[in-house]
Amino acid sequence: MVSTRIVRTALGVIASVAVLYPAAVWFQNSRPDIRSMSLNDLFPVFGLIAFSLMWLHIVGGAMRTFLEKYINFGNFVSKTSIAVLILILLHPLLFLIDLAPAQIVSVFTSGQPVYLWLALIALIIFVSYDIAKLFKTGKFLSAHWHAVKFISTLAFFLIFFHSLGLGTDLQSGPLRYVWMFYGITAALATLYTYVLKTPEEKRKPYP
C-alpha cells in the first residue's frame, strides 16, 4: 500500500508543476530583462498562474473525497483563493496601467473585443463570489451556495476562452495543448461535481 507521505508528495509535485509550468513557458518565451522590466510586463504570468490555481480548485473539488484522505483540501482552497483573487485583479490592472483612457476604450472596441468582454464578465463574477463568501452563512446564500459556486465555475470557462483567444503564450506550442487539457478536465470535473455527485457529497462544505 502506498504511504500517505508518498501520496502527499506526489500531489504536491503535480500541483506545483500545474502552476509553475505555464509560468516557466512565459519566462522562456518573453525572457524579460530584470533591469528594464516594468510591472506591465508581468500581467500575462499573473493570469496564467491564477487560471492554473483555479483549475486545481475545480479538478480537486471533483476528487475531494480522495484528496481529503491525504490533505486538507478545504484549507488549500481557502489559502490559494486569496492568491487567485490578488492575481486576477493584478492581471488586468497591470495591462491597463500604462494605457490612456482613449486606448482603454479602443481595447474594448477593436480587434477581438469579445475575449476582453468575457474576461470582464468573469472578473465581475469572481469578485462578487469572493464578496459573497463573507456572507455565505446568511439564510439566502447558505441555501443557494451550491448554485453560487456553479456560477463561479462557469466564470472559469469564460477565462478559458479569453486566454485561448488572447494569450500570447497559448497561440501555439505545448502550452496550448496543456491549456486544452485543463479545459477538458475542468469540464469533466464540473459535470461530475454538479451533476453526478451524490447529494451527500454535494453537501460537504468547502470554500
Domain boundaries, the chain: 4-202
**Can you read off the three cell numbers belonging to residue 25?**
513557458
Residue length, the chain?
207
CA distance linking residue 203 with residue 60, whole number of Å: 16
> Residue 43's closest CA among 81, 99, 1, 110?
99
Q: What is the pLDDT along the chain (207 residues), one digit of tens a residue?
A: 578 889 999 999 999 999 999 999 998 888 777 666 777 778 899 999 999 999 999 999 999 989 999 999 999 999 999 999 999 999 988 888 877 777 777 777 777 789 999 999 999 999 999 999 999 888 898 888 889 999 999 999 999 999 999 888 899 899 999 999 999 999 999 999 998 876 666 556 555
One-letter amino acid for residue 133 of the chain: K
Q: Write down the pLDDT at residue 203.
A: 56
CA distance linking residue 151 with residue 145, whole number of Å: 10
Domain range 4-202, its CATH number among 1.20.120, 1.10.8, 2.40.30, 2.60.40: 1.20.120
**Interval 160-191: pLDDT, tens:** 999 999 888 899 899 999 999 999 999 999 99
Q: Write down the pLDDT at residue 199.
A: 63
